[in-house]
């Protein structure tokens, strides 16, 4: 195993600090409101030094999304290890984790339409590889849950997948939390109920 030099360790530590800052700012403000200047200031480095690590604001966001999907994949692995859990149980668990992460202010949010950002994400091999792995894992659970009769079989699996992905940026959580009337736990359970059971009255 190759030992890292002190300079290499400093470089990695600085990149980690940058990405962690971007993760937080994307969760707090979103991509459009985040600036490279405030990222550099928060980390405590010059803007020129930041550009030695990441060439653009889009590259910063892509690095943060690589980390975010990595966290999701770790959670998926954890759910895979739960003995006796059904496919829909696993889907619910990963969705609940996503909602809790968003309410905790730790889920990066990106604009739906931004060509330069979209191009940067598509060009990022680590991001695309992790996204495909995550989609494949969740897709397998969705197909199994449909086979089990736990999710409507007539729905295209990708429609279910995108519905689950959408929970990572669901504005309902923020609206309910801003009102100050409900706990995070209540909000999570209500959004879970509407996601998996719809809005129809229960018997």
Residue 179 lies in a domain: yes
pLDDT of residue 12: 84
CATH of the domain at 166: 1.10.357.10
For the chain, the average pLDDT equals 93
Residue 1 lies in a domain: no
Task: Give the lowest-confidence range in 63-72, 111-120, 173-182, 185-194.
Answer: 111-120
Angstrom distances, CA of residue 63 to CA of 54, 76, 142 = 9, 20, 28
Residue 49 lies in a domain: yes
pLDDT tier, 1 (very low <50, low <70, confident <90, very high otherwise)? low
Tell me: the pLDDT tens digits for 119-156? 999 999 999 999 999 999 999 999 999 999 999 999 99
Residue 28 lies in a domain: yes
11 pLDDT more than 90: no
**Count of structural domains, the chain:** 1
What sign for the dihedral angle of Cα 147, 158, 77, 95?
Answer: negative
pTM (global) more than 0.85 = yes
The whole-angstrom separation of Cα 114 and Cα 96 is: 28
6 pLDDT more than 90: no
Residue 109 lies in a domain: yes
203 pLDDT more than 90: no
The whole-angstrom separation of Cα 85 and Cα 115 is: 40
Tell me: the pLDDT tens digits for 57-94? 999 999 999 999 999 999 999 999 999 999 999 999 99
Question: Domain range for residue 186?
Answer: 6-197
Residue 97 lies in a domain: yes
Residue 202 lies in a domain: no
């Amino acid at each position: 195993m190759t030992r890292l030099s002190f300079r290499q360790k400093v470089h990695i530590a600085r990149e980690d600090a940058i990405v962690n800052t971007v993760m937080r700012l994307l969760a707090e403000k979103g991509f459009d409101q985040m600036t490279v200047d405030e990222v550099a200031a928060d980390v405590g480095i010059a803007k020129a030094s930041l550009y030695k690590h990441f060439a653009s604001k889009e590259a910063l966001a892509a690095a943060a999304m690589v980390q975010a999907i990595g966290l999701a994949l770790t959670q998926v692995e954890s759910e895979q290890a739960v003995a006796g859990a059904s496919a829909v149980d696993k889907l619910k668990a990963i969705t609940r984790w996503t909602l809790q992460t968003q309410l905790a202010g730790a889920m990066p949010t990106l604009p739906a339409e931004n060509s330069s950002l979209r191009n940067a994400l598509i060009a990022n091999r680590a991001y695309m590889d992790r996204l495909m792995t995550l989609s494949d894992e969740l897709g397998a659970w969705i197909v199994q849950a449909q086979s089990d009769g736990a999710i409507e079989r007539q729905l295209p699996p990708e429609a279910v997948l995108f519905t689950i992905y959408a929970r990572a940026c669901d504005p309902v959580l923020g609206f309910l939390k801003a009102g100050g009337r409900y706990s995070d736990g209540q909000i999570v359970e209500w959004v879970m109920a509407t996601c998996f059971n719809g809005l129809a009255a229960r018997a």
